[in-house]
Amino acid sequence: MIVVGVDAHKRTHTLVAVDENGRILGERMVEARASGHSDAITWVRDTYGRDVTWGIEDCRQVSAGLERALVAAGEAVLRVPTIMMKRTRAAARSPGKSDSLDAAAVARAVLRESWLPPAAYDTRAQELKLLVDRRYRPRRPAHRDHQPAAVATARRRSGSCADAQRVSFLAGPHGAGRMARDPVRSDGRDRVR
């Protein structure tokens, strides 16, 4: 039995293949995009065949694309909880941390534990997640007319973008702040900080 452990990151994924005794057979780093996912699947199938189990540390914010590609390709994928990896690193004989060591630890956790949950994607649940994410995503103003009231007031009063930018900083991203002014300037005008 061959197990491929994956240490997933935002830009790259490190793959380490181990045998049933936990010995490292090979390792590879691929890009964290669709072309890298297909490269990973091709490398594992060409080198170790189709009887392979994949273990991925359960960091779905960075590993979801690879998990979906593997499940769509018909691969067996197990999710390894991050707390298990923390304990494994703490109990390691040699200090240090690297992507290949982490990927090997993921693969060995798959060999050691029989209760790990498989990665599965339900299309209906994915569609609901997309709708919920879209509905509750905070929106940023796309046009100058939708700026906070304090910024618009500063532009009208001074005609200066620099004053408006200062007020924008004080007002915050959602217009929840207030304008800060000195009561009187030497020339009699209000001064926006």
Q: What is the mean pLDDT of the chain?
A: 77
Q: Is residue 134 part of a domain?
A: no
Euclidean distance between CA atoms 85 and 7, whole angstroms: 10
CA 154: distance to chain centroid? 38
Residues 74 and 155 in one domain: no
In this predicted structure, the answer to whether residue 147 has a pLDDT above a threshold of 60 is: no
Whole-angstrom distance, CA of residue 16 vs CA of residue 28: 7
Encode pLDDT of 57-75 as tens digits: 888 889 989 999 999 999 9
Alpha-carbon distance of 86 to 79, in angstroms, equals: 15
Percent of the chain residues past pLDDT 70, beyond the cut: 64
Cβ-contact 178, 193 below 8 angstroms: no
Shared-domain flag, residues 9 and 60: yes
Residue 87 domain-assigned? yes
Distance of alpha carbon 188 from alpha carbon 77, whole angstroms: 71
Strand 76-80 relative to strand 52-57: parallel, antiparallel, unpaired? parallel
42-46, 54-58, 107-111, 172-176 — most confident range? 42-46
Are residue 118 and residue 153 in the same domain, yes or no? no
Residues 162 and 100 grouped into a single domain = no
Q: Does a structural domain hold residue 127?
A: no
pLDDT tens readout for residues 2-41: 999 999 999 999 999 999 999 999 999 999 999 999 999 9
